[in-house]
Amino acid sequence: MTTHATSPSQVPVGVDPTRPSIARIYGGFLGGKDVYEVDRQVMVKISSAVPEAVDIARGNRGFLNRACRFLTQTNIDQFLDCGSGLPTAENTHQIVQRYNDEARVVYIDNDPVVLAHGRALLEDNFRVRMIGADIFEPRQVLEDVTIRSVVDFAKPLVLLQVGTMHHVADDERAPEIMREYIDALAPGSYVVFSHFIDPETPELTPIAKRIENILVNGPLGAGRFRTRDEIMAMLDGLELVTPNVQDPPGLAPCDLWWPDGPRLGGISGAARCIVGAVGRKL
Ligand code: SAM
């Protein structure tokens, strides 16, 4: 991992190098280079508490990629990617435009480094936009003029809330936010969703709690590992797809949501602390 120097002259405008950023930390766990010393300290804390914590980030991103590939079968050609994060090896627009070069993608984030990198990367792709907005204020997103110029909410679209809603600290507000988004979607739309989970077992709950403690009580101040019931309450109004050959429709650990192929071993305890689901608006 490369850490950037943090002297003010080397930090992009609008970025506070003394405060860790969840976008940079997550990007760092995925192997990205935009990690400052202050981010690295949080990463070391997490990895010391749970050495396999990196599996959470990798599992989450793999799920996002497979879910996007799956949804190219629907012929839906508009994607709203909330809390899109730093550009990484494969991004939503690259996956969906490989199947349909007319697919439109709006990325939304509020991290200045994400916005700077995203805009630079997307400069010459006029079907993709990078918007700065607060994704936990759905009206801000749903009424944004630029977003509405790209995405038609009267037609089915794919809404991605992947690795985002656990950053909402308020347990009552979280399902309300998802309800506002789901209510605004046309029937036939899909939601791609992932969230940290407390697996509620004596072996796995301590893993979830160790990471939650660092995230919630540290400088980031958020990162809730919610129970299955709390997560399902955020997906009300959606018909969830079957996550693999053996399970009924619902949530699955991200790594076990339609994996690309056979695994040589089982998945780690940490990898069981993040779940994904894809649901269709009825
Ligand atoms: N969705 C990507 C993925 O799953 O690979 C990135 C997930 S990353 C863990 C969470 C992202 O949400 C970060 O890029 C962060 O900046 C963004 N985020 C957090 N709170 C936000 C807010 N209130 N408004 C917009 N973006 C936010």
Distance 82 CA to ligand 1 centre (A): 7
Q: For residue 138, which of 189, 82, 195, 196 has the smallest C-alpha distance?
A: 82
Residue 17's pLDDT is 86
Q: Ligand 1, atom 15: nearest CA belongs to which residue?
A: 23
* Residue 124, pLDDT score: 87
Q: Tokens standing for 57? A: 């980030």
In one-letter notation, the amino acid at residue 229 is D
Contact 19, 109 (CB under 8 A): no
Q: Is residue 68 within 8 Å of residue 92, measured between CB atoms? A: yes
Q: CB of 167 closer than 6 A to ligand 1?
A: yes
Q: What angle do CA 66, 157, 32 make, to 5 degrees?
A: 40
Output the CA 214–ligand 1 centroid distance in Å: 18
Residue 23 contacts residue 108 (beta carbons within 8 Å): no
Of 234, 96, 120, nearest to 174 by C-alpha is 234
Question: Ligand 1 within 6 A of 164 CB?
Answer: yes
Predicted pLDDT of residue 10: 61
Pick the atom of ligand 1 nearest to 135's CA: 24
| Ligand 1 binding pocket includes 111 (Cβ within 6 Å) | yes
pTM across the whole model: 0.96
What is the reported pLDDT for 148?
97
Q: From first to last of its 282 residues, what are the pLDDT tens digits of the chain?
A: 445 544 444 666 678 889 999 999 999 999 999 999 999 999 999 999 999 999 999 999 999 999 999 999 999 999 999 999 999 989 999 999 999 999 999 999 999 999 999 999 898 899 999 999 999 999 999 999 999 999 999 999 999 999 999 999 999 999 999 999 999 999 999 999 999 999 999 999 999 999 999 999 999 999 999 999 999 999 999 999 999 999 999 999 999 999 999 999 999 999 999 999 999 999
* From 93, 110, 115, 195, mutation site for ligand 1 pocket: most ligand atoms within 8 A of C-beta: 110
- What is d(CA 9, CA 138) in angstroms, rounded to the nearest whole number? 35
Any bridge partners for residue 109, and if so which? 132
Determine the pLDDT at residue 212: 98
Instruction: Provide Rg for the chain, Cα atoms.
Output: 18
- How many angstroms is it from 194 CA to the middle of ligand 1? 12
71 CB within 6 A, ligand 1: no
Q: Does the beta carbon of 163 sit less than 6 angstroms from any atom of ligand 1?
A: yes
Write out pLDDT tens, residues 38-49: 999 999 999 999
Q: What pLDDT is stored for residue 15 in this prediction?
A: 86
Q: Which residue has the CA at smallest separation from atom 11 of ligand 1? A: 83
Question: Best mutation site among 54, 93, 164, 220 for ligand 1, i.e. most ligand atoms within 8 A of its Cβ?
Answer: 164
Q: Tell me, what's the pLDDT at 6?
A: 47
Q: What share of the chain is helix, strand, coil (3-state, %, to 5)?
A: 45, 15, 40
Question: For residue 265, how far is its CA from the centre of ligand 1 (angstroms)?
Answer: 30
